[in-house]
Structure 1
């Protein structure tokens, strides 16, 4: 069993989220999330998530096989491993050509006590700069009644420097929170949009959109334009918004569960370069009519378009998208 440390859930209503990200030098990001609750009720949710993880130790594994073994041995629920060879995240890690292809590894543990109180620790190892940093946000509450949910233990956490202890150049870059009009951007991630909606043009310098960035205008966001160099859409980033059409740039290698429940979405265009469409990516988009997919798409989850009854897939003849459409009985038109 892993040792429970000072980072634990502490009330019967609290929850714990573990996030792990491996960023490759080509810009692709592999993500894993595990959720700990008092009473789990769905896939990826556990009575308790215990993790002993150091991004620095992960980055220093001699090869990918060793990295996989360490990952599988580091996350558990009541002593039983959570990550196995069957997990999709592990399968993606196994496909990394070598450790030299990894640019950055980060581990995040987040406690949510109630809607107004959250405590998070983020540990990041930058393989390119050999910089090990941590961020701590929010206030940790004392444990109450031994409630479960999860814990994160970083064995070498004392080696990680807080942003204000880094050299000045790194600090200026790592701690930068930019207010660009209606956009709040941190580390290149759009964390909050405070405008009224409509068609939103994401500013230059943003390469990722956070999962709650548009929570203030869900019913008013009708269109989105991504900037050059954009690479990542987090899960649920556009869930339930009023988007009618979206063009996803080729720098986004994987489309996650980000557009579920977009009831007004009619057209989806994926640019050349996109490789994968994840489970529920466009689920319950009941108005969806046209989906254009490039030849670069080589993986589409069976439930990617669950609850979309009347759409047509447009893709190059002989592509994986055509094969997928025929297997699932979706109408297909060759480009």
Structure 2
């Protein structure tokens, strides 16, 4: 584990890596870390793996990723997200307080969106949900943001029930 490795600025994984999971808190508070590319074998990013990596602005997610766990990227410097189609679970507070995010589009296989997943992302303007997830938690965004979705979808009903702004696709 590299927790609190304040001078670590980059991490390289072998192309032949068989790593399946980034363990909980693995890179927590590595404040100099700016970019990371995961091997395609990674299927899960554990709780708090990149917690408060404030300079982490670029993440290249693996093609086989299924789970981004609780607070995995809490308070990171991410400027954009290109989440893989394989992603199924965005757990609680996964991207909480990622203040540089402006727009996020969720891939179609995301079935679980945990509470507060993008809450505290003060610059987030739009969260686009083009499908019907099985579960959408409380306060997934701030009130200032807008959810873009299809009229009559689960996301639309969520917006109506929770009082979030909605734009139809």
- Total equivalences in the alignment: 153
Q: Post-superposition shift, 1:199?
A: 4.3
Q: Post-superposition shift, 1:287?
A: 1.3
1:281 aligned to 2:121?
no
- Give the Cα–Cα distance (whole angstroms) in 2 for the partners of residues 186 and 303 of structure 1: 36
- Give the Cα–Cα distance (whole angstroms) in 2 for the partners of residues 282 and 270 of structure 1: 12
Bigger relative contact order, structure 1 or 2 (CA pairs below 8 A, ≥6 apart): 2
Counterpart residue number, 1:85: none
- Give the Cα–Cα distance (whole angstroms) in 1 for the partners of residues 50 and 73 of structure 2: 7
Counterpart residue number, 1:61: none
Say what the alpha-carbon RMSD is for the aligned residues: 2.7
The alpha-carbon distance between structure 1 residues 291 and 275, as it changes in their structure 2 partners (threshold 3 A), is: same
Counterpart residue number, 2:12: 182
- Give the Cα–Cα distance (whole angstroms) in 1 for the partners of residues 35 and 168 of structure 2: 30
The alpha-carbon distance between structure 1 residues 218 and 195, as it changes in their structure 2 partners (threshold 3 A), is: closer
- Give the Cα–Cα distance (whole angstroms) in 2 for the partners of residues 284 and 196 of structure 1: 22
Query: Which has the larger helix fraction?
Result: 1
1:315 aligned to 2:145?
no
Secondary structure of the residue that 1:243 maps to in structure 2?
coil
TM-score in terms of structure 2 length: 0.76
- Give the Cα–Cα distance (whole angstroms) in 1 for the partners of residues 160 and 132 of structure 2: 18
Secondary structure of the residue that 1:268 maps to in structure 2?
strand
1:326 aligned to 2:156?
no
TM-score in terms of structure 1 length: 0.41
Q: Post-superposition shift, 1:195?
A: 10
- Any unmatched runs of 5+ in structure 1? 1-114, 116-180
Secondary structure of the residue that 2:105 maps to in structure 1?
strand
1:204 aligned to 2:34?
no
